[in-house]
Structure 1
Amino acid sequence: MAASGAGAVIAALIFGGRQQWNKRGLLAYGGVLISGMALLIMPFVSWAPALIGLMVIEGFGIMIFGLIWETSLQELVPEEAFGRVASLDMLGSFALLPLGYVVVGWLATVIGGKITIITLAILVLITIGMALSVPSIRRFD
């Protein structure tokens, strides 16, 4: 998990100070694609340094999405509504994580850890495909 954090820090250092974003929709979901692909490859790798590298890539990709998401919220949500929107965003992003951990843990117990990772990584990739099929997301600058 520390390797994922290292990847996130690298992405934050590279992209965090960016003032202008071009093709935000494609870049954000490209970051999730990178993350999802790293997760999909993980169950097939047993060499520890490669797994660490994949976790760095996973953290890097998801941080790109996070940076674009937060920047877009700040730019697009009116100041008078920002507190409410941000609180709902935080609820969905963080407060529901424990529920997700319970479901994933249960699923891994029922069908196995590798199959769970593969299945959920494929769901991530399908979700990206669905999101990118929306023209306004692809054009979002």
Structure 2
Amino acid sequence: MNTCNKLPLFLHNEMNEKEIIEFNAHILTCKECAENVEIFHTISAQKQKKNLPANVIYGIFDKTTRKKPFWNFLRAVEFGFAAAACLFIGVFTYSTVNGNSLSYFDTDASYEQIASIDANLDGYEQIYLS
């Protein structure tokens, strides 16, 4: 392998000690590799100096990312429906377990008692509606 082709290995510290010594000797004779190494180190040094504070990075990220307010609204609505359903199920279960059934047909009255109540209501309707 040509020594100039080993430049990326040298720049990314992927050489063993023997190869590093050989490449340092090569840099002394090859101006192109020496310039590339110098440019790489200059860029690396500048890159390390230019790190922005986290709050600036997050501010840029918030301004440049696409926000989906509808989906946030939908999640809130889904949570509301889920909470309402849980509340309804809880109230219904509590009322049926404790004997306070919400059902119209759940009664201890006999058919005759219900018929007499209906007859009385019919009588009241005739009196008050006429």
- TM-score normalised by the chain length of structure 2: 0.25
Task: Work out which of the two has the higher radius of gyration on C-alpha atoms and give 1 or 2.
Answer: 2
Greater relative contact order, per chain length (Cα 8 Å cut-off, separation 6+): 1
Structure 1 or 2: more helix by fraction: 1
- TM-score normalised by the chain length of structure 1: 0.23
